[in-house]
């Protein structure tokens, strides 16, 4: 058995390159990461190696694993479709050996919407579990001792029933019994729903808690409280893991503790950068280049003025951008004599002075160009670079992070 952790974002977007597209649902690409196939091989190998195992068992293992991951996709689709309903954008859902990740390009802004998006995933698993329970009950009714089902009014009877069903599951798993598949998926969906509702980032429950708090408190404060709750929970889980010598639990506790802190830094950056405007940190003294300048001239200017990125002007018209990365790449490829006009970037997004630093940072991330021109109408005011934004963030951010 393996743990399933369901995240909602892959900020670096590095998972895409090693994944294969399975299909598209409502404009969302469903992809599977190459490492996912390791899980299938593992499931098949386990079926083959068990005592009394064989190809039948191997296929059974692969099939149940695939069906479990169908449930994971449905969980992520739950998040995604609700997010799209509230104006968010979802690029894709990627299946990993540890679970699924929905890559959201933009999330709904309102706390109540974020709350509904977060709760939609686990809700899907609870719905699946309920349907499977309705299917499973008639299937296993014959196996359940008479009398057990009649007395379900007391909690103890439920406990006895669950213990009985788990024992039955293991007995059925000894043979290739399809009822075992139903019970396995029932248990897996129930645990997926419950585990993901733990009130700790990066689990859905952390976002649900933050969304609830943000209905009354400001977003940053709600995030800090949710992080503290999650980290306290992680400490309790960790202690429990130590007491019971459960390594898996200890690992999960450490993972939750550090992921929660990470969420705090991300939100802090988003809030701080969302409150600063480009005109406040704009480098308006940036000297410009002409397309006819050589790279040797650029290096000369760069070393004298400690300037790494340049707008390229023809008269008063902006015709290009040359960043430090571009200069280094061009030097490597063409040497110092090449003209700026040949190696500059001609396609680039433009930032307005009233844009937030958050918006500028998103444009830089999307375009991959580390400095963008700031324009007021057709007038170039200067450049804003990733370094400018990071420096402004360091100056403005509160020294203690939640
Ligand atoms: Zn989720």
Domain residue spans of the chain: 1-196, 198-274, 278-396
Q: How far is residue 123's CA from residue 351's CA, in Å, rounded to a whole number?
A: 41
User: Separation of 128 CA from ligand 1 center, angstroms?
Assistant: 14
User: Separation of 132 CA from ligand 1 center, angstroms?
Assistant: 20
Q: How far is residue 164's CA from residue 221's CA, in Å, rounded to a whole number?
A: 45
The answer to whether residues 192 and 72 touch, using CB atoms and an 8 Å cutoff, is yes
Q: How far is CA 239 from the centre of its chain?
A: 28
Q: Is 49 exposed, middle or buried (0-12, 13-18, 19+ CB in 10 A)?
A: exposed
pLDDT of residue 344: 92
pLDDT per residue over 241-271, tens digit each? 999 988 888 888 888 888 888 877 777 788 8
293 DSSP 8-state letter: -
User: Separation of 204 CA from ligand 1 center, angstroms?
Assistant: 5
Q: How many helices (H) and strands (E) does the chain have?
A: 14, 8
Give, for 319, the enclosing helix (H) or strand (E).
Answer: strand 317-322
User: Separation of 370 CA from ligand 1 center, angstroms?
Assistant: 33
pLDDT per residue over 163-182, tens digit each? 777 776 666 656 667 777 88
pLDDT of residue 57: 76
Q: How far is residue 371's CA from residue 62's CA, in Å, rounded to a whole number?
A: 49
pLDDT of residue 223: 87
Q: How far is residue 267's CA from residue 258's CA, in Å, rounded to a whole number?
A: 15
Interface pTM (ipTM) of the complex? 0.99
pLDDT of residue 213: 92
User: Separation of 203 CA from ligand 1 center, angstroms?
Assistant: 7
A 10 A CB-CB count for 339 gives 16
* CATH, domain range 278-396: 3.10.580.10
Residue 161 has pLDDT above 80, yes or no: no
pLDDT of residue 149: 59
pLDDT of residue 351: 92
The answer to whether residues 71 and 192 touch, using CB atoms and an 8 Å cutoff, is yes
Average pLDDT over residues 125-137: 91
Geometric angle at alpha carbon 29, from 24 and 34, rounded to 5°: 115
The answer to whether residues 130 and 189 touch, using CB atoms and an 8 Å cutoff, is no
Instruction: pLDDT band for 116, please (50, 70, 90 cuts).
Output: very high
> Across all residues in the chain, what is the average pLDDT?
82
Residue 128 to residues 66, 114, 396, Cα–Cα distance (Å)? 15, 22, 47
User: Separation of 116 CA from ligand 1 center, angstroms?
Assistant: 11
A 10 A CB-CB count for 379 gives 9
User: Separation of 195 CA from ligand 1 center, angstroms?
Assistant: 10
Residue 34 has pLDDT above 80, yes or no: yes
A 10 A CB-CB count for 205 gives 23
Structure tokens given for 105: 């390009």
Residue 132 has pLDDT above 60, yes or no: yes
> Please, which residues bridge with residue 294 across strands?
339
User: Separation of 259 CA from ligand 1 center, angstroms?
Assistant: 15
User: Separation of 124 CA from ligand 1 center, angstroms?
Assistant: 10
User: Separation of 229 CA from ligand 1 center, angstroms?
Assistant: 19
User: Separation of 171 CA from ligand 1 center, angstroms?
Assistant: 31
Of 32, 128, 28, 33, the residue nearest 83 (C-alpha):
28
The answer to whether residues 348 and 321 touch, using CB atoms and an 8 Å cutoff, is yes
Burial 59-83 (b: 16+ CB within 10 A, else e): ebbbebbeebbebbbbbbbbbbbbb
User: Separation of 25 CA from ligand 1 center, angstroms?
Assistant: 18
Of 362, 369, 365, the residue nearest 344 (C-alpha):
369
379-385 and 371-376 beta bridge pairing = antiparallel
Per-range mean pLDDT, top range of 14-18, 266-270, 277-281 = 277-281
User: Separation of 77 CA from ligand 1 center, angstroms?
Assistant: 9
Query: How many residues in total does the chain contain?
Result: 402
pLDDT of residue 176: 63
87 HSE (CA, 13 A, CB side) = 5
User: Separation of 202 CA from ligand 1 center, angstroms?
Assistant: 9
pLDDT of residue 1: 23
Of the chain, the percentage scoring pLDDT greater than 90 comes to 18
User: Separation of 57 CA from ligand 1 center, angstroms?
Assistant: 30
Residue 5 has pLDDT above 80, yes or no: no
User: Separation of 385 CA from ligand 1 center, angstroms?
Assistant: 35
pLDDT of residue 182: 85
User: Separation of 376 CA from ligand 1 center, angstroms?
Assistant: 42
User: Separation of 103 CA from ligand 1 center, angstroms?
Assistant: 12
Average pLDDT over residues 276-286: 80
User: Separation of 74 CA from ligand 1 center, angstroms?
Assistant: 10
pLDDT of residue 8: 39
Q: How far is residue 95's CA from residue 70's CA, in Å, rounded to a whole number?
A: 10
Sheet containing strand 99-106, edge to edge, reads 19-25, 28-33, 89-96, 99-106
User: Separation of 260 CA from ligand 1 center, angstroms?
Assistant: 15
Residue 39 has pLDDT above 90, yes or no: no
User: Separation of 258 CA from ligand 1 center, angstroms?
Assistant: 18
Average pLDDT over residues 317-329: 90
Of 96, 112, 195, 114, the residue nearest 104 (C-alpha):
114
User: Separation of 135 CA from ligand 1 center, angstroms?
Assistant: 25
User: Separation of 76 CA from ligand 1 center, angstroms?
Assistant: 6
User: Separation of 32 CA from ligand 1 center, angstroms?
Assistant: 17
The answer to whether residues 185 and 67 touch, using CB atoms and an 8 Å cutoff, is yes
User: Separation of 121 CA from ligand 1 center, angstroms?
Assistant: 5
pLDDT of residue 6: 38
pLDDT per residue over 211-248, tens digit each? 999 899 888 888 889 999 999 999 999 999 999 988 88
Higher pLDDT pick, 266 / 147: 266
Residue 162 has pLDDT above 80, yes or no: no
Average pLDDT over residues 28-43: 86
């Amino acid at each position: 058995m393996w743990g399933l952790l369901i995240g909602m974002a892959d900020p670096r977007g590095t998972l895409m390159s090693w994944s294969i597209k399975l299909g598209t649902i409502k404009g969302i690409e469903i992809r599977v990461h190459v490492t996912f196939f390791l899980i299938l091989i593992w499931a098949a190998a386990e079926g083959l190696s068990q005592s009394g195992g064989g190809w039948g068992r191997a296929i059974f293992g692969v099939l149940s694993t695939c069906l479990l991951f169908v449930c994971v996709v449905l969980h992520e689709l739950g998040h995604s479709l609700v997010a799209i309903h509230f104006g968010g954008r979802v690029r894709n859902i990627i299946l990993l050996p540890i679970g699924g990740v929905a890559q959201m390009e933009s999330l709904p802004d309102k706390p109540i919407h974020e709350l509904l998006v977060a709760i939609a995933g686990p809700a899907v698993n609870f719905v699946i579990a309920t349907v499977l329970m309705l299917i499973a009950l008639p299937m296993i009714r014959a196996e359940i001792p008479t009398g057990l089902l009649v007395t379900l009014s007391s909690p103890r009877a439920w406990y006895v029933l669950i213990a009985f069903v788990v024992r039955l599951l293991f007995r059925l798993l000894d043979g290739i019994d399809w009822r075992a598949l139903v019970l396995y998926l029932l248990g897996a969906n129930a645990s997926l729903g419950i585990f993901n509702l733990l009130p700790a980032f990066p689990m859905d429950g952390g976002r649900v808690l933050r969304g609830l708090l943000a209905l009354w408190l400001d977003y940053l404060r709600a995030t800090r409280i949710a992080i503290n709750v999650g980290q306290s929970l992680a400490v309790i889980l960790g202690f429990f893991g130590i007491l019971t010598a459960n390594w898996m639990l200890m690992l999960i506790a450490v993972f939750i503790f550090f992921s929660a802190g990470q969420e705090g830094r991300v939100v802090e950056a988003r809030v701080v950068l969302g409150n600063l405007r480009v005109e406040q940190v704009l480098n308006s003294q940036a000297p410009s280049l002409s397309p006819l300048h050589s790279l040797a001239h650029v290096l000369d200017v760069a070393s004298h003025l400690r300037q790494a990125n340049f707008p390229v002007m023809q008269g008063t018209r902006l015709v290009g951008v040359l960043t430090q990365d571009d200069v280094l790449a061009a030097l490597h490829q063409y040497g110092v004599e090449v003209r700026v006009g040949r190696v500059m970037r001609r396609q680039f997004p433009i930032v307005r002075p009233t844009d937030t630093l958050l918006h500028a940072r998103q444009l830089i991330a999307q375009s991959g160009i580390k400095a963008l021109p700031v324009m007021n109408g057709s007038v170039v005011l200067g450049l804003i670079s990733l370094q400018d934004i990071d420096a402004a963030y360091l100056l403005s951010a509160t020294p203690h992070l939640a």
